[in-house]
């Protein structure tokens, strides 16, 4: 699996995932994280205001947009640790 993380001027974080071996499992893991049930010991989900996920089933690509709550910014290093801990990536 490959992923790319980019930070936007409005503090949103965009993640592009490609070549995931099990895209449905990746999506399930992301849903768990957004609900605070991450397997990757981080509190970044507490900063989350909104999570948008788009999946292109033809190409196997997943696009994720994280919007932080007011006054928060995401720690990219923590997000990378979480992505690296997802078994199916």
Domain CATH for 36: 3.30.1360.10
Report in angstroms the alpha-carbon separations of 38 from 9, 22, 26, 41, 48. 26, 18, 12, 7, 13
Domain assignment of residue 17, given as a range: 2-85
pTM: 0.85
**Number of domains making up the chain:** 1
Classified as helix, coil or strand, 3 is strand
Q: Is 34 exposed, middle or buried (0-12, 13-18, 19+ CB in 10 A)?
A: middle
Q: Say whether pLDDT at 87 is over 80.
A: no
Q: What is the pLDDT of residues 18-74, one digit of tens each?
A: 988 788 888 888 788 777 777 777 888 889 999 899 988 788 799 999 999 999 999
40 and 71 Cβ atoms separated by less than 8 Å: no
């Amino acid at each position: 699996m490959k992923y790319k993380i980019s930070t936007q001027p409005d503090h949103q974080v965009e993640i592009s995932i490609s070549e995931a071996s099990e895209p449905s499992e990746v999506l399930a893991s992301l849903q768990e994280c957004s609900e605070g049930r991450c397997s990757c010991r981080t509190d970044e989900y507490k900063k989350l205001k909104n999570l948008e996920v788009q999946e292109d089933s033809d190409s196997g690509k997943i696009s994720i947009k994280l919007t932080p709550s007011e006054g928060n910014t995401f720690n990219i290093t923590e997000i990378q640790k979480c992505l690296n801990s997802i078994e199916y990536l």
